[in-house]
Amino acid sequence: MENRQQRLFLAILLSMGVWMAITFIFFPPKPPQKKPTKKVEQQAETPKDAPDSKPTETAEKDKKPVNLPPVKIVPPEEIETIHIKTDPYLVKLSSKGGRIEKYYIKNYKNMDGTEVLIAKDENMSVQWEKETYKAVEISRDLGFDFNPSEEIDYIPSSPFNHVNFAVEKDPANNRVKFSTVLPGTTIRLDKEYIFYQKENYFRFKISYTNIGTEPSQIVTSGKPLFFRGFGSLGPLKDGPLNDRDQMHYFRFYYLDGSFKDSVDGISNDGFFSKMFSSGNEDKRFERVSSGGKNFEFWGAGSRYFIAVLNPLDKKGPGELILDNRDKNISGILGVYENSKLAPNTSQEYEYAAYVGIRERDGMVFRDSNFDPKVKQEGNPFANLSENLNKSFNQGLTTPFRNGIVWLLKQLYHYAIPNYGWCIVVFAILFKMVFYPLNQKQAESMKKMQELNPLIQEINQKYEKDPAVKQQKVMELYKKHNANPMGGCLPMLIQIPIFIALYTAFSDTIDLWKSPFLWITDLSEPDTVWNSPAFLGGATGLSLNILPLIMVATQIIQTQMTSVSSDPNQKTMMYIMPVIMLYFFWSMPSGVTLYWTMQNVLSIAQQVYTNKYSKSKKELAPTVQTTVVQNPPPRRNRNNPRNKK
C-alpha cells in the first residue's frame, strides 16, 4: 500500500510539473512594463489571479486627518542612494522604489563585550563610504522591497520598485522617508525607515493618504494589496544547492500561539490535502488565513539569519501568501484590504523589524529603554510581540542547545581560540560529566562478554526448547547480577543531549567558516576532493575524511562491545557503521568531529574497564563450579589385590 501511495504521489507531482511547464511555455505571465505609470494602469485593466475584493470604507478609528506638504516630483534619472551605518549592520537604500538595496550584517560587540564574529573570511570585506568592514550581505543582492503590489503574477517584483521617490533624510536619527503619488490616483504613498545605532531592530511605517477631493481606493483596480517586506534570505552557498542546502532557506509565521514554517518553494499541504483538494486552486501560491485573529509576526530565514516583521499597531494582514514555485525568492507576503479613503485621511501600518542571527542574544536590546519588558511608556517598541524569540524554531531541546553554545563560546573567548579544539574539549568534558553512566555501560558490556561462553553453552544444550533456553539465560543473568539492557539505558538518556548537540553544531553561526586542522569550515562536510559532475548532476562525488575516521572508530567499538552469538545480529552490528557513514557523509564536520571524539573516548574507557575491572576474577570461581567432577572409583573388597 505504501509503495502504491508513493507511486501515486509521484505521478501527481509529475502531472503538476507538466501542467506548470505547459502553462509557463504557452501562457507566460505578462512581464512588467518599463514605465511605472503604465504598469499600474495595466494591472487595473487585466486582473488575473488576485481574489475578489470589494472596496471597503476604512474603519473610523483608522482614519487620520492629515495636512501634508506637496510631494516633490523627482525625474526618473535622478536616483539618490542613502547609506546607513550602525553598530551591527550596514544598509544601502535607494530612492528608486524607496527600498533597501543591500543589507549587510557586520561583526559587532555582544552584551558582554565579546565580539560577535559574523564574517571570519578575509574575502568577506565590504567597501562602505571609503571604509572597509567585515560583513555578510544577506539580501542576496536583490534587496528588500517593502512595497505593495496589486497583481499576484508580478510577485516577487512590484511595479512601485521602478518609481523614483522623493527623499527626506534625518541623519542624526538614522531616519529616511520616501514619498510619491501613485500614478493615475490621488493617493500619496509614504515609506519611513528608522534605524537604531546599537540595535538589531529597525522600524518601518507605510502610509497611504488621499490628497484629492473625492473618496478614493488605494489602487483603482479594486484588488487587495500584496505587501512584500523581506524576500528570501542569504547568504547563498557558493556553487549549486543540493536538497540539504535548500532546507536551510525557509519562511515562517506565528498565529494564535502556533509557529509554522516551511522550506522556500515547498507547500505546507500534506499528502491527503493534495489528494482531495479541488483542481481549480492556484497551486503556485498558498494562502494562509488569519481566521479573524492576528498574525503576530512573519518573515524569512536562512541557516544562520532571520528577518522578522512584527506589526506594532496590531493591524496585521487578513492573509499571508506563500510562494510555492520552484526556487522562488518571494519570502512571505501580507494581503491587506484595498481601503477606500476619504479626502485628507490616511491609512497607516507600522512594523518593527528584526534582522540578525538566529540566536536569543541577537534579539536582546542593547539599550534597555527600548526593551518593552523594562519600559513601555514612550518606547517605540512598546507593542513588540513577546513571542518573537520563537521564530528560531530550535525544538524542544532549545535549553540544552543554548547551554552548549554558551559553553563553546566561553571556551573560545577565554581558553582556546579555535572552535575545533573547543569541540574536542567539550567532548571530553561531556564524557566526564556522564562518566558514571558510561562506566556502568562499559562494565555491563564487559560482564556480558564474560558470560557469553556460558550463554552459548545454554543455547547448544536447549537448542530445541526455546522456552527453557530463555529461562536458563535469565537465571544466569540473575545469578551474576547482569543486565543485558544496562548498556542501552545510558545511551537513551543521552539522546536528547545529542539532538541538542546536533542543533548547536549545525545552526550556530560561530562554527561557520571556522577552520580546524585540514577542515576549512566546521559547518560543512570536510570535503578534500570533488570529482567532475557526471550523469547530468550538478555535482560529482566528494571525498570526506572525517566520516571515514568516524566509521573506523565505530567498527572498533563494535568489536570491543559485541556480545551476541547470533550471526544475524552480528551482521547488523557491522551494517550499522555503514548506515551511519551514509548519514554523516553530508553532515557538518563539527557534528562528525564530536561523534568521532565520543567513539575514541568510549574505546579508551572500554580498554581501561577490561584491563582493571575485577568482574572476571569474581566470575571465575562461579564458572568453575559449573564443571561436574567425576567421583573417585569405589574399591571392591572381594578383589584379592585389595586385601592387605
Please state, in angstroms and as integers, the Cα–Cα distance from residue 273 to each residue in 7, 267, 269, 276, 325, following that order: 17, 11, 6, 6, 18
Residue 270 is predicted with a pLDDT of 53
- Asked if 117 and 134 sit in the same domain, the reply is yes
Q: What is the DSSP letter of 633?
A: P
Q: How far is 72 from 273, CA to CA, in rounded Å?
A: 51
- Asked if 407 and 371 sit in the same domain, the reply is no
Residue 10 is predicted with a pLDDT of 40
Please state, in angstroms and as integers, the Cα–Cα distance from residue 496 to each residue in 8, 396, 398, 401, 499, following that order: 36, 9, 10, 10, 5
pLDDT for residue 584 is more than 60:
yes
Residue 620 is predicted with a pLDDT of 46
Residue 19 is predicted with a pLDDT of 38
Strands 339-341 and 56-57: parallel
Final residue before a domain boundary, out of 356, 373, 392 = 392
Final residue before a domain boundary, out of 370, 392, 414 = 392
- Asked if 312 and 421 sit in the same domain, the reply is no
Residue 465 is predicted with a pLDDT of 78
**Domain annotation covers residue 120:** yes
**Domain annotation covers residue 114:** yes
**Domain annotation covers residue 581:** yes
Residues composing the chain: 644
- Asked if 238 and 384 sit in the same domain, the reply is yes
pLDDT for residue 1 is more than 50:
no
Residue 561 is predicted with a pLDDT of 66
Residue 375 is predicted with a pLDDT of 86
pLDDT for residue 325 is more than 90:
no
Q: What is the average pLDDT score of the chain?
A: 78
Strands 332-336 and 285-289: unpaired
Per-residue pLDDT band at 208 (split at 50, 70, 90): very high
Name the residue with higher pLDDT: 537 or 378.
Answer: 378
- Asked if 530 and 460 sit in the same domain, the reply is yes
What does pTM read for this prediction?
Answer: 0.76
**Domain annotation covers residue 328:** yes
**Domain annotation covers residue 523:** yes
Residue 600 is predicted with a pLDDT of 92
**Domain annotation covers residue 321:** yes
What's the average model confidence in pLDDT over 447-453? 73
What's the average model confidence in pLDDT over 111-115? 81
Q: Which residues are CB-contacts of 642 (< 8 A; sequence separation ≥ 6)?
A: 635, 636
Residue 110 is predicted with a pLDDT of 84
- Residue 217's domain spans which residues? 31-392
- Asked if 366 and 431 sit in the same domain, the reply is no
Name the residue with higher pLDDT: 44 or 412.
Answer: 412
Q: pLDDT tens digit string along 534-549? A: 655 556 688 899 999 9
Closest CA to 433 of 598, 612, 600, 611: 598
Residue 178: which CATH number? 2.70.98.90
How much of the chain, in percent, has pLDDT values that exceed 90? Answer: 28
- Asked if 243 and 320 sit in the same domain, the reply is yes
For 258, how many CA atoms within 13 A lie in the half-sphere containing its CB? 4
Helix, strand, or coil (residue 448): helix
- Asked if 347 and 365 sit in the same domain, the reply is yes
Give the helix, strand, coil percentages of the chain, each rounded to 5.
35, 25, 40
Name the residue with higher pLDDT: 604 or 353.
Answer: 353
Residue 102 is predicted with a pLDDT of 94
pLDDT for residue 80 is more than 50:
yes
| CB atoms closer than 10 angstroms to residue 579 | 11
Name the residue with higher pLDDT: 484 or 478.
Answer: 478
Strands 285-289 and 319-323: antiparallel
Name the residue with higher pLDDT: 106 or 634.
Answer: 106
- Cα angle: 601, vertex 605, 609; to 5 degrees: 170
pLDDT for residue 383 is more than 70:
yes
pLDDT for residue 595 is more than 70:
yes
What does R_g of the chain's alpha carbons equal in angstroms?
Answer: 34
pLDDT for residue 27 is more than 60:
no
Among 199-208, 336-345, 482-491, the range scoring the smallest mean pLDDT is 482-491
Among 300-309, 318-327, 338-347, 527-536, the range scoring the smallest mean pLDDT is 527-536
Residue 501 is predicted with a pLDDT of 80
First-to-last alpha carbon distance for the chain, in angstroms, is 90
Q: What is the DSSP letter of 370?
A: G
Top mean pLDDT of 144-148, 434-438, 570-574 is at 144-148
Residue 98 is predicted with a pLDDT of 94
Query: Looking at this protein, which amino acid is placed at residue 488?
Result: C
Residue 253 is predicted with a pLDDT of 93
C-alpha cell at 220: 483603482
**Domain annotation covers residue 641:** no
What's the average model confidence in pLDDT over 412-423? 92
Per-residue pLDDT band at 247 (split at 50, 70, 90): confident
Name the residue with higher pLDDT: 59 or 518.
Answer: 518
Domains contained in the chain, number: 2
Per-residue pLDDT band at 95 (split at 50, 70, 90): very high
Residue 539 is predicted with a pLDDT of 62
Per-residue pLDDT band at 34 (split at 50, 70, 90): very low
Q: pLDDT tens digit string along 175-185? A: 999 999 988 88
- Asked if 486 and 604 sit in the same domain, the reply is yes
Residue 420 is predicted with a pLDDT of 93
Residue 492 is predicted with a pLDDT of 72
Torsion-angle region of 133 (φ positive above 0: left; ψ -120 to 50: alpha; else: beta)? beta
- Asked if 560 and 541 sit in the same domain, the reply is yes
Q: What is the dihedral of CA 396, 399, 401, 406, to 10 degrees?
A: 170
Q: How far is 139 from 141, CA to CA, in rounded Å?
A: 5
How much of the chain, in percent, has pLDDT values that exceed 70? Answer: 75
Name the residue with higher pLDDT: 450 or 142.
Answer: 142
Q: Which residues are CB-contacts of 567 (< 8 A; sequence separation ≥ 6)?
A: none
**Domain annotation covers residue 564:** yes
Final residue before a domain boundary, out of 365, 392, 419 = 392
What's the average model confidence in pLDDT over 503-519? 87
- Asked if 143 and 249 sit in the same domain, the reply is yes
pLDDT for residue 30 is more than 60:
no
pLDDT for residue 515 is more than 70:
yes
What's the average model confidence in pLDDT over 71-77? 85
Name the residue with higher pLDDT: 37 or 249.
Answer: 249
Residue 626 is predicted with a pLDDT of 43
- Asked if 301 and 409 sit in the same domain, the reply is no
